[in-house]
Amino acid sequence: MTEIPEHLLKRAQAAKDKAAAKAAEGADAPEAAAPAGEAGDSRIPASLLERSKAAKARKAGGAAASADAPAPGGGVATAAGAAPAVASAGPPLAAGPGGHTQRLLTVVKSGSIQDVKAKPQDKVHVWPHLLVLEFVAALFVLAFTTIFSIFVNAPLLELANVNKTPNPSKAPWYFLGLQELLQMMHPMVAGVTIPGMGIFLLILAPYVDRNPSNKPEDRKFAISLMTVHLMFWSVLVMIGSFFRGRGFNFALPWRDGIYFDL
């Protein structure tokens, strides 16, 4: 059997003490005055109390009518014979404080009667949902690069000549951002400090922004950080590609031409 919590036992004991105190104080009061005095303190609605009073009145009226009815032998029932019927109209033996029949049977833990169901989660399995998409994307990229290599020649020049250095001498496009930084500041700062700080910030980003949402409008910090990183590197690559001429000097493409090839 489930144990009754301590606070419910204390509440029941307090109610019993209160009812005993009222019974001791109002032992000589009329019977009809008890429900009226308890109406202000009881938590039972007034409609239920009125219904209970009406039922008791009907039961008392039926008992009185049976007392006045003729007896089977032709006589009239005596008042002594009606006394047990009137007495039986009182509160039952198992009544609670104030004559109310509501009582606490037992306390059942909610977990034993509730149908516990798993909450829906906004997650899917890696296989097959994610891996199938990645495999299809890999096949698409492989097919595109294969077809592109068939119809477009590789951007390879002649063999390098140590006696002839191209002017301008540019790194591949994905390193032009770093070459542009080397042109602007000290190699230690451009080649080690700034790239190292950028990578370190990107590593810390998942630990700073712990928002589990997948919606872009809820990930403002992560999106802002990645946007700043991409824009910073893209601007450097574009300057090194289209705005650097002979000697890697600054040049305007619409005036001096474009010194850029793949």
First to last CA, the chain: 82
Tell me the average confidence (pLDDT) per consecutive run of 10 residues in the chain, 262 residues long.
Answer: 76 88 70 46 73 86 62 47 47 56 59 60 78 95 93 77 86 88 90 89 85 84 88 92 89 88 71
Instruction: Return the CATH fold of 160-256.
Output: Helix Hairpins (1.10.287)
Write out pLDDT tens, residues 1-51. 567 778 888 888 888 998 888 888 766 555 444 444 444 445 677 888 888
| pLDDT (tens digit per residue) in 127-153 | 888 899 999 999 999 999 999 888 887
Backbone angles phi, psi at 70, to 5 degrees: -65, 145
Q: Give me the torsion for CA of 63, 65, 71, 74, rounded to 10°.
A: 170
**Helix (H) or strand (E) segment spanning residue 146:** helix 131-151
Enumerate the domain spans of the chain. Answer: 6-69+76-113, 122-152, 160-256
pLDDT of residue 231: 93
Q: What pLDDT, on a 0 to 100 scale, did the predictor assign at position 137?
A: 96
- Quote the CA–CA distance of 141 and 14 in Å, as a whole number: 78
Distance, in Å, from the CA atom of 112 to the CA atom of 56, rounded to the nearest integer, reads: 39
